Chain A
Amino acid sequence: MSDDVLAQATIWKNAGKRVALATVVTTWGSSPRPVGSQLAIDESGAFVGSVSGGCIEGAVVQEAIEAMKDGKPRLLDFGVTNEQAWEVGLACGGKVQVFVERLE
């Protein structure tokens, strides 16, 4: 597996798999990964890259698999305020917004 997120997304797509990309688009406070950090996910839930220190990847992968099915882009908010809604959050107390989209 390539550790270059976009290269791995390309490999999966070329292999006929459904693929989604997740990108950190906004951060507030002490977020673990900067804006622009990315995760590529395939239809089996395999992923490369990171959008946090591992705190929210599981939830992002689930949303990515939904986005692969319905093709709708999603803007997800993670942080203290959404902890109850998502049942995941950032231990560091920061907030991140993650854009999830299907690779068409």
Chain B
Amino acid sequence: MKSATLAQIQADRAAKRAVVLATNLATGAERLIYPNALDGLEPLLAAAVGNAARNDQSGNVDTPEGKLFLHVFNPPLRLVVVGAVHIAQPLARMAALAGYDVTIIDPRSAFATNERFPGVTISTEWPDEALAKLKPDARTAVVTLTHDPKIDDPALEATLRSPAFYVGSLGSRKTHNARLYRLHKAGFTETETARIHGPVGLGIGAKSPAEIAVAILAQITERLRQPKS
């Protein structure tokens, strides 16, 4: 690989721009292809690059110019945590280790401080406004942790209208049932609200904030890697 190619990939990753490195494994010849700018590319290659980026799946493709290895560099997975509460602290750190770009949303500015969440992107906007800007996509997970309907509900409503691959909401079964009742009154169907994982996290008997964070991150991982189970 040329140093210039490596530098460009690093620049694209820093800018959170998807890029695909196409390498001819027989010759080492390489070039960078941008999945959002496929016009003018050989159609077979364009389709393969588009699929690889969409599925986040690197692989080989036979083209008129030979067999190419397509190495996908997608922007990181994203985790949006609504509620800058105690559980959010270990969750933000663990999720960052697992490769997530973490954003914490909490309009209560006493909770959402840089001291409590060093190095994490923080928004003190209301969740519906913050999520309108963040635009959760199929590589985004959203978790609400406040138990406060004023904060959690707008976040859930915005997330249910998005293709986010995971949505979870902290709260007891009773809290969750009340939440579902409100969302159904607001016009969401049972099929739609069935996307919400509540009570949140895998059932591993987690008690401490860090353990609950493990349970949540494990469930997010399960949805990411085994989406149909």
Q: Hey, which bits of chain A sit against chain B, CB under 8 A? A: 6-7, 9-10, 13, 21, 23, 25-26, 34-36, 73, 75, 99, 101, 103-104
Q: Which residue of B lies closest to A27 (CB)?
A: B59
Decide: A103 and B1 in contact? CB cutoff 8 A: yes
Give CA–CA (A13, B1) in the complex, Å.
12
Shortest CB–CB separation between residue A32 and chain B, in angstroms? 15
Decide: A35 and B58 in contact? CB cutoff 8 A: yes
Decide: B69 and A99 in contact? CB cutoff 8 A: yes
Given known A103-B1, A104-B1, contact A6–B10 (CB-CB < 8 A): yes
Give the chain A neighbours of B23 by CB distance below 8 A: 99, 101
Give CA–CA (A31, B1) in the complex, Å.
25
- Kindly identify which residue among A35, A75, A104 contacts B3, using a CB–CB cutoff of 8 Å: A104
Task: Using A6-B6, A10-B7, A35-B57 as known contacts, list a sample of 7 further A-B pairs with CB atoms less than 8 Å apart, ordered by residue number in A.
Answer: A7-B10, A23-B71, A25-B60, A73-B25, A101-B28, A103-B3, A104-B2
- Say whether B53 faces chain A, with CB atoms less than 8 Å apart: no
Give the chain B neighbours of A101 by CB distance below 8 A: 1, 23, 28
Give CA–CA (A56, B2) in the complex, Å.
25
Counting chain B residues whose Cβ lies within 8 A of the other chain, the interface size class is 10 to 19
Shortest CB–CB separation between residue A92 and chain B, in angstroms? 18
Give CA–CA (A25, B28) in the complex, Å.
13
- Say whether B9 faces chain A, with CB atoms less than 8 Å apart: yes
Decide: A99 and B58 in contact? CB cutoff 8 A: no
Give the chain B neighbours of A103 by CB distance below 8 A: 1-3, 6
Decide: A10 and B10 in contact? CB cutoff 8 A: yes
Q: Which residue of B lies closest to A102 (CB)?
A: B1
- Say whether B72 faces chain A, with CB atoms less than 8 Å apart: yes
Give CA–CA (A104, B9) in the complex, Å.
15
Give the chain B neighbours of A25 by CB distance below 8 A: 25, 58, 60, 69
4 closest pairs, A vs B, by CB? Answer: A36-B58, A73-B28, A35-B58, A25-B69
